[in-house]
Amino acid sequence: MARHEMTGNEMSYYAEGGIERHQYDVVVVGAGGAGLRAAIAAHEAGANTAIVCKSLLGKAHTVMAEGGIAAAMGNRWPEDNWEVHFRDTMRGGKMLNNWRMAQLHAQEAPERVLELEDWGALFDRTDDGLISQRDFGGHRYARLAHVGDRTGLEMIRTLQQRAVQIGIDVFMECTVTDLLQDRSSGEGRMAGVFAYWRETGRFVVIDAPAVILATGGIGKSFKVTSNSWEYTGDGHALALRAGAKLINMEFVQFHPTGMVWPPSVKGLLVTESVRGDGGILKNSEGKRFMFDYIPDFFKAETADTEEEADRWYDDKKNNRRPPELLPRDEVARAINSEIKAGRGSEHGGIYLDIASRRTPEFIRKRLPSMYHQFKELADVDITAEPMEIGPTCHYVMGGVEVDADSQESAVTGLYAAGEVSGGMHGSNRLGGNSLSDLLVFGRRAGESAAAYVAGLGEARPAVSDEDLRAGQWSAVAPFSVDGGENPYSIQHDLQQKMNDLVGIIRTEAELAQALEEIEQLKVRAKSMSVDGHRQYNPGWHLALDLRNMLLVSEAIAKAALARQESRGGHTRDDFPGPNPEWGAKNLVVSLADDGESVMLNPQPLPPMPDDLKKFFD
């Protein structure tokens, strides 16, 4: 029997219809931080585990994470502990977070970081030789374990090397297009996944009773984004189609600092560490404007003079934090307002200045990737001149609704971890809480999935032939249309509309218009056609991804239209400010009966126990 070059997996060429067939206990979809951590946990718990990922191993979007992993290890500030981290996370999310997820996250993050070190990660150190921790927005203490400004790369490489070492099978450049369910029982338990190899276009079916979605986010539906091409909302859409639910989809994080020039790099992330390490924001008049944008909610803990703000870096006990380090939603809105008021920079951003505040040696040591990125791509020396930056679509707080402890969705055997899951970050995520989220909940998902499979015994759910035929038919449909529309132009129009109508500041009229536009795009997408054949054909791949992008974009726009308040990553010009009634509920998105659109239901937040409530008195 032939073996696949990359994975070493056996390939059954003789299988009917050219479909490869494999059997595993647990399949993880996605090989970023959450997927790799989940796979390691499932494997170590004894489950026969496979990872399926759209790109080569080690290229997932996690590599782009820069700043660090938030974990209350107390290496710099012994006063720090999980309770403070929990409080910061809940306040950063404007109290809309799933309290249990926020609690588990704060409690378990330190051990997850130490575990990475056991597996070979080399973090930057404190003078005492412990893991160094840096300041970030919304975190009361310096809390982010980091490696210069390339922490995500370190995390991916460490997990990748661990996964390879323990022998987990990886299906690289393989895209999952359908989740397969056992329909016989009526409840639709997970039975496997349907996928295709990007290289050959050949179809693959993996029978597995447990599937963990770790597909990341949705940023590629927006024009200006820090996200890589893979971020097409696959997991969100797969979960909806399988009958799971999404929550908090209206909350999309626009990172305050993306590059704005040259056009080729517009949206590319500029790490929050620049501000954590002393960088400040200025408008075209040279004014440090963030002092004008301190909301009441954070007044008590934010410095109101430049002198106090500058003293804070060295003396956190007697000074309050600089307003540049407010949570991301606040800073992004402030920058947006300055640009709209005509005080923007030459290329439509504002200035981020660290050159006048720190020595060139310090900047090059602490921010080597940023130095390199601006030098190579924009001809800007950040040790000598300010950067031009503006908001960029960065992260979706919304995702699959899961049980906080097990990460299981409403569908038996379907789990979600990392950005594709929802609840943990409420309406706004703090910087650094993403990498720790991936580790904490990746591990939990892997362990729960393995335990579920172990409990099944021999009675495994079965994939139906009918579903296999449907999966094949649906995947090759774009080839059967002649002279239809080019998927690239539909994607281009979707990105433009989402950016213009569902962006950082929203209104009822624009959101309603966005929904109409999405309907039209869905019609156009039905008749799109692709050139060429199935072997490594990006046009075909995009055509399949677009279906997910459209469904998820609709979910975002619909939820954003319904939520008549401003909170975290959702700002309504027509409803400025938070509304306590909305603050008590999530919007739950599910697939409508037509199978092609979504519907919304409000649902009360899970009540927080009294022993945690006391942190917010």
Closest separation between CB of residue 129 and other proteins, Å?
A: 4
Question: 255 an active-site residue?
Answer: yes
Q: Is 148 in the site for other proteins (CB under 8 A)?
A: yes
Distance CA 300, CA 302 (A): 6
Strand, helix or coil at 543? helix
Nearer CB in complex with other proteins: 63/511: 63
Q: Is 487 in the site for other proteins (CB under 8 A)?
A: yes
Cα 105 → chain centroid: 16
| Shortest distance in whole angstroms from residue 472 CB to other proteins | 20
Q: Least separation, in Å, of the C-beta of 114 and other proteins?
A: 7
Measured from the CB atom, the residue of 129 and 342 that comes closer to other proteins is: 129
Q: Is 61 a catalytic residue?
A: no
Nearer to other proteins by C-beta: 327 or 478? 478
Beta carbon nearer to other proteins, 64 or 96: 64
On the CB side of 116, CA atoms within 13 Å amount to: 33
Per-residue DSSP letters for 385-445? SPEEEEEEEEEE--EEE--TTT-B-SSTTEEE-GGGEESTTTTSPPTTHHHHHHHHHHHHH
- Segment 8-67, which members bind other proteins (CB under 8 A)? 55-61, 63-64
Q: Which of 275, 320, 321, 541 is catalytic?
A: 275
Give the residue with the Cβ less far from other proteins, 37 or 333. Answer: 37
Count of residues near other proteins by CB under 8 A: 70
Residues 246-275 that bind other proteins (CB under 8 A): 261-265, 268-269
- The full length of the chain comes to 617
Q: How far apart are CA 89 and CA 97, in angstroms?
A: 8
For the four alpha carbons of 6, 7, 9 and 15, in that order, the dihedral sign comes to: negative
Instruction: Give 16 or 127: the residue with its C-beta nearer to other proteins.
Output: 127
Q: Which of 4, 236, 255, 321 is labelled catalytic?
A: 255
- CB atoms inside a 10 Å sphere around CB 533: 10
Q: How far apart are CA 93 and CA 109, in angstroms?
A: 18
The stretch near other proteins (CB under 8 A) out of 130-138, 315-323, 585-593, 599-607 is 130-138
Question: Counting contacts by CB under 8 A, is residue 373 touching other proteins?
Answer: yes
101 closest CA partner among 617, 606, 615:
606
Q: How far is the CB of 354 from other proteins (least distance, A)?
A: 19
Please choose, out of 176-184, 534-542, 554-562, 588-596, the segment that lies near other proteins by the rule CB under 8 A. Answer: 534-542
CB of 397 to other proteins, least distance (A): 22
Among 539, 565, 590, 605, binds other proteins (CB under 8 A): 539
The correct pick among 123, 194, 351, 415 for binding other proteins (CB under 8 A) is 123
Task: With beta carbons less than 8 A apart as the criterion, state whether 135 and 315 touch.
Answer: no
Interface with other proteins, residue 346, by CB under 8 A: no
Q: To the nearest whole angstrom, how small is the minimum distance from the Cβ of residue 147 to other proteins?
A: 7
Query: Exactly one of 299, 340, 492, 526 binds other proteins (CB under 8 A); which one?
Result: 492
Cβ atoms within 10 Å, residue 493 = 15
DSSP H or E stretch at residue 588: strand 585-591
Euclidean distance between CA atoms 556 and 181, whole angstroms: 26
Using alpha carbons, list the distances in angstroms from residue 488 to 514, 546, 549, 604: 19, 9, 13, 40
**CB contact at 8 A, 178 and 243:** no
Instruction: Out of 3, 13, 164, 616, name the contact with other proteins by CB under 8 A.
Output: 164
Distance CA 148, CA 550 (A): 37
| Interaction site with other proteins (CB under 8 A) | 5-6, 55-61, 63-64, 73, 75, 111, 114, 117-120, 122-125, 128-132, 147-148, 150, 153-154, 157, 161-162, 164-165, 172, 199, 228-230, 261-265, 268-269, 369, 372-373, 376-377, 486-489, 492, 530-533, 535-540
What residues act catalytically? 255, 275
